[in-house]
A and B are shown apart, each in its own frame.
Chain A
Amino acid sequence: MNVNPAQQPAIGHNVIPKMTARDVNVFYGQKQAIKNVSIDVTSENVTAFIGPSGCGKSTFLRCLNRMNDTVDGARVEGRISLDAQDIYAPTMDVVQLRARVGMVFQKPNPFPKSIYENVAYGPRIHGLARAKADLDNIVESALRRAGLWDEAKDRLNESGTAMSGGQQQRLCIARAIAVDPEVILMDEPCSALDPIATARIEELIDELRGRYAIVIVTHNMQQAARVSQKTAFFHLGTLVEYDDTSAIFTNPRETRTKDYITGRYG
């Protein structure tokens, strides 16, 4: 079954989607990884993608900032737009797109540079700062928004890789925020972190909500329940169900969703 986002209950009134996907199909060579997926993502809500391994949730996430372009044999059909602008249009500058649609990965991957340089790198190459003072401001504000300033302010010149795993992940979020994106994609951002570091990331996601459209892929059902307001369940490349998170976790409409979230799947 495919879900028509137009029929989905909206949270709030007149919510304009930040990103929309319509009839998206993704192929890796002959293999079809995503089948006819249509979905809307808004800034007001954190959207969680859940589903078993290989269901296509990460593949679909990576379509949202064209990360699949770098995969050999990957082909994306259908229309994905950011503020009604087709991101697969030939005129789209992919570097700009990825600044607008940032990404945080499963394993924290700070550059082997100082904490300061990790955050400053993006704004500098995108020409967001004219003077050193501007850049200092951007770095501080990004680290503050990522909840890392107090821990990092006295060691800005130390290597980012010397931080703890949880700090590194928040550094990566600060790095994504520094270029002032509109959308942040997170691919299992907490799976390598301990519960305390996970809780801090989840709190951070909640604080960033509203300011950025956030899409998070997670294997942790409880995490999806905690951080998101909308949840999409993927299975075998299709979007099975997309609804308010509270509805998905208390009374899902589709048997496949129910079997998956209650641990009865396969």
Chain B
Amino acid sequence: MAELSAHTVKSFDEDIAQLRAVITRMGGLCESQIADAVDALMNRNVEAAAVVVENDKRLDGLEAEAEELALRIIALRAPLANDLREVVAALKIANVLERIGDYAKNIAKRASVVAQSQPISQAVIVPEMARAVVGIIRDTLDAYVERDAAKALAILSRDQQVDEFYNSLFRSLLTFMMENPHYITPSTHLLFVAKNLERIGDHATSVAEMIHFSATGLRPAERPKNDFSSTIYAPQ
């Protein structure tokens, strides 16, 4: 995607670059928070989980910084057209990335409970699911940095893969809990962990939609959803 030509007023470009840098940092932090939270969960490492919880404050701080920058640009620069879309998208993306951070924090919080019980074999799917989710976030951020609408569009369908992971884990945990009622507590936590990852996937794709809108001014068509767990009554 072609880089935009510079503004006549150079400090406008600097403001936008600063805003983009904050968003990019938030994205990078989201990636590491998810990966670290899932690592802590799988390695039953309560200290590492506590670090993830603590680090979430940095994301909150960055979101506030992005908000402040965006408001300043709107107030002082009166951005229009692609600039306006860029600033509005940045505001929304910052908000979504902060939410993604909250989900990562929630995964980390559950690590200490999960660590107190026996490992569940079904959990092996969680790191795989996390890798898929982190991959989506990484590519989304690449699309953001490159202002690449086509790349953003390509990401949208990948959320289905995450949904499939979740459906599969949902079914297997349901079966497992019926057969092993004393594992209901860790299983439920694991289910929430998977649900968090599934939500992160949804949020990441909505970021990709915003990138597409920011770059083109057009909303992508309704994306396919593949999370059917809300209709599952009992495992077959």
Contact = CB atoms under 8 A, between A and B. Distances in A.
Is B truly associated with A? yes
Interface of A: 221-222, 225, 249-252, 257-259, 261-266
A186 B109 CA distance: 64
A221 B80 contact: yes
Given A250-B217, A251-B217, A265 B8 contact: yes
B83 A262 contact: yes
Contacts of A261: 80-81
Contact of A262 (B80, B217, B218): B80
Contacts of B4: 264
Contacts of B7: 262-264
B121 interface: no
A251 B9 CA distance: 21
A263 B8 contact: yes
B234 interface: no
A165 B169 CA distance: 73
19 contacts: A221-B78, A221-B80, A222-B78, A249-B84, A250-B80, A250-B81, A250-B217, A251-B81, A251-B85, A251-B217, A252-B81, A257-B81, A258-B81, A258-B82, A261-B80, A262-B83, A263-B7, A263-B8, A263-B12
B79 interface: yes
B5 interface: yes
A250 B85 contact: yes
A249 B7 CA distance: 16
Contacts of A259: 5
A263 B76 CA distance: 13
B82 A263 contact: no
Chain A at the B interface: SS class: helix
B197 to A, nearest CB: 34
Contacts of A225: 80
Interface string B47-74: 0000000000000000000000000000
Given A250-B217, A251-B217, A264 B78 contact: no
A262 B82 contact: yes
Contacts of B79: 262
Contact of A250 (B5, B6, B9, B84): B84
Chain B at the A interface: SS class: loop
A262 B15 CA distance: 14
Contacts of B82: 258, 262
A221 B83 CA distance: 14
Interface string B4-27: 111111001000000000000000
A167 B3 CA distance: 47
A264 B80 contact: no
B113 to A, nearest CB: 48
B9 A262 contact: no
Contact of A249 (B12, B80, B218): B80
Contact of A264 (B6, B84, B85, B217): B6
Given A250-B85, A261-B81, A262-B80, 6 more contacts: A258-B82, A262-B79, A262-B81, A262-B82, A264-B7, A264-B8
Contacts of A250: 80-81, 84-85, 217
B104 to A, nearest CB: 34
A259 B7 CA distance: 8
A166 B181 CA distance: 80
Name which of B9, B12, B217, B218 has the most chain A CB atoms within 10 A of its CB: B217
Contacts of A221: 78, 80
Nearest to B88: A250
Nearest to B12: A263
A96 B84 CA distance: 45
Contacts of B217: 250-251
Contacts of B8: 263-266
B210 to A, nearest CB: 14
Nearest to A247: B217
A264 B2 CA distance: 15
Name which of A251, A259, A263, A266 has the most chain B CB atoms within 10 A of its CB: A263
Contacts of B78: 221-222
Contacts of B80: 221, 225, 249-250, 261-262
Nearest to B83: A262
A263 B9 contact: yes
A259 B2 CA distance: 14
A127 to B, nearest CB: 47
Nearest to B5: A264
B15 to A, nearest CB: 12
A21 B22 CA distance: 49
B9 A249 contact: no
